[in-house]
A and B are shown apart, each in its own frame.
Chain A
Amino acid sequence: MHPAPSVILFSTLSGLGFGLLAFLGLGVLQPTGMGAFIWFFIAYALAVGGLISSTFHLGRPERALKAFKQWRSSWLSREGICAVVALLVMGLYAIGAIFLGTHWTVLGVVGAVLSVLTVFTTAMIYTQFKTVPRWHNITTPAMFLSICIAGGALLAGQVTLAIPLLILAALAQLAHWVVGDKALEASGTDMGTATGLGDRGTVRAFEPPHTGTNYLLKEFVYVIGRKHAAKLRIVAMGLMVVAPIVLLALTQLASVSGTADHVLAALAVISHLVGVFAARWLFFAQAEHVVGLYYGKR
């Protein structure tokens, strides 16, 4: 699949933003006044920034509002609704924290659930596609959700929570890679079933239907950079999980304190964000859409 930067940016940033909102809503940290304003500003900037960036991949962004209609069947529609409701509920909660110095617990919990649910709907957009076997399994939502929660804990400065959650996220990401690498084979779909000619012999693509490229090849048969996938996976995992854990562990040392603490924590967040971005790039670039089989490609 073509790794569109706007979509990767969206899932990376808004995943982190909604993760932070979940921790704020659950009252794990309870800032008030100016402190609360800064926390909520960061969370909203990430979540809303991600959402805005996702509209750049629409052909007709001016019609984006129409996308809220079909929640009965469409995960994209559900995602849109869920995101807006989560942001509204958490907005109310933020007003209480910033201006009234109170934390409406029930509202916060509802907002936290909705925030996590939003990330789940995003994951389900990809998971639903039978046409992309690498995505069509439980490791996709597991990976999206665990990374969202681990990122939220990291950004919320919850060191003791963040380390185990990051390890959990790493396991989910690994599972997604391991299961994903075998998914196309395991799906049973090949050139034989695609053409219906498989039981007559070995099917080989003899001539494509067109001499140039087309939308299908550009969107679904993206192979650039696949050969570097193994290296990129190591880089992604290192930046997303290993480096943040080491940096967080350093903040726990008695000799490190004050500003150094904050610098280390900030570095951990940045490293994590870049790592998730790389992992998401791979999520798309490595995903094989079955339509490639009609071209003898994968």
Chain B
Amino acid sequence: MTTLPTSTDRKLGLVIDLDTCVGCHACVISCKGWNTENYGAPLADTDAYGANPSGTFLNRVHSYEVQPANDAPAQLIHFPKSCLHCEDAPCVTVCPTGASYKRVEDGIVLVNEADCIGCGLCAWACPYGAREMDAVEKVMKKCTLCVDRIYNENLPEEDREPACVRTCPAGARHFGDFADPDSNVSKLTAERGGMDLMPEMGTKPVNKYLPPRPKDRDRSEDVDILAPFLEPVAAEPTGFLGWLDKALTTMPGGKS
């Protein structure tokens, strides 16, 4: 059924903290790894070792530079992007087969790959580029919110969260239920002014982005108070190092 549920019991999703993301792409790799080995068709790579490598990913990290108008220092912002599990998901209603659907119990947007005809319309409908047609399997792939981890009783408790969240070394991704006002994600969103991407598209994304804290001033000229202690103690080496330095200098080619 590709009509959307009027409401879902829970609203599972991610909070992505643009202030903390360091742009390491660890979530990209863990997502690719988990989703290639588990739920659904593996994520293809074509010409992986050739001149034009290309592949399917469910999560990608962009980097943007923001230049404030008042000549304040520019900011570099790393920007992870995966499916936002929209409440009013246009990708679901366009699907002619019912392969794309939004779950009533937790709001996760999924693709039933056995029904997908690979028409690509859902990817056209998504403003965020969260869906990619797999070049080998010819079916639509998208973030599953790691549905095969979060409920998986075969995994240790601490691993029952999305692979990208579990992996992030900076703690920039948080997973939880937005329908519960006391959940970690609801609190973070409220405290830090979590925002929607392209709100004008009317998709009502569940995932929220925490804006980066503004830089108050240019810190590039700052000197750390410990810096003086890092000055070299002796400019010229003495003792054994002095001998080694001399010996190496006298060797052929050593003077260069």
Contact = CB atoms under 8 A, between A and B. Distances in A.
Nearest to B141: A215
Contacts of A72: 2-3
A155 B16 CA distance: 57
B201 A209 contact: no
B121 A125 contact: yes
Interface in A187-237: 187-189, 191, 193-197, 200-216, 219-220
Interface size class of A (residues with CB under 8 A): 35 or more
B197 A70 contact: no
Nearest to B56: A215
Given A69-B98, A70-B96, A202-B66, A216 B132 contact: yes
B129 interface: yes
Contacts of B148: none
Given A189-B198, A194-B198, A220 B129 contact: yes
B233 to A, nearest CB: 40
Interface stretch (A161-169, A172-180, A274-282, A288-296): A288-296
B124 A208 contact: no
Interface residues of B, number: 70
Contacts of B3: 72-73
A200 B209 CA distance: 15
Contacts of B118: 58-60
Contact of B119 (A76, A132, A214): A76
Interface stretch (B76-84, B151-159, B240-248): B76-84
Nearest to A199: B211
B96 A130 contact: no
Given A66-B117, A67-B97, A74-B96, A207 B63 contact: yes
Contact of B124 (A132, A191, A211, A212): A132
A193 B129 contact: no
B105 interface: no
Contacts of B220: none
B132 A214 contact: yes
Interface string B168-205: 00000000000000000000000000011111111000
B2 A70 contact: yes
A206 B121 CA distance: 29
At the interface, is chain B mostly helix, strand, loop or mixed?
loop
A76 B117 CA distance: 12
Nearest to B4: A73
A202 B61 CA distance: 19
Nearest to A81: B96
Nearest to A4: B120
A2 to B, nearest CB: 10
Nearest to A71: B96
B45 to A, nearest CB: 10
Contact of B129 (A196, A204, A207, A216): A216
Given A197-B211, A212-B54, A213-B52, A206 B199 contact: no
A194 B96 contact: no
Nearest to A209: B60
Nearest to B123: A219
B119 A67 contact: yes
Nearest to B133: A215
Contacts of A80: 96
Contacts of B198: 189, 193-194, 290
B97 A63 contact: yes
B64 A203 contact: yes
Contact of B66 (A77, A200, A289, A290): A200
B158 to A, nearest CB: 28
Given A67-B119, A70-B96, A189 B200 contact: yes
7 contacts: A67-B96, A69-B97, A70-B97, A74-B95, A76-B119, A131-B124, A214-B54
Given A67-B96, A128-B125, A197-B211, 8 more contacts: A63-B97, A73-B2, A129-B124, A196-B209, A201-B72, A202-B69, A203-B66, A204-B64
Please give me the 5 A-B residue pairs with the lowest Cβ-Cβ distance, nearest first. Answer: A59-B118, A59-B138, A209-B60, A201-B68, A291-B129
Interface of A: 1, 57-61, 63-64, 66-70, 72-77, 80, 125, 128-132, 187-189, 191, 193-197, 200-216, 219-220, 289-291, 294-295
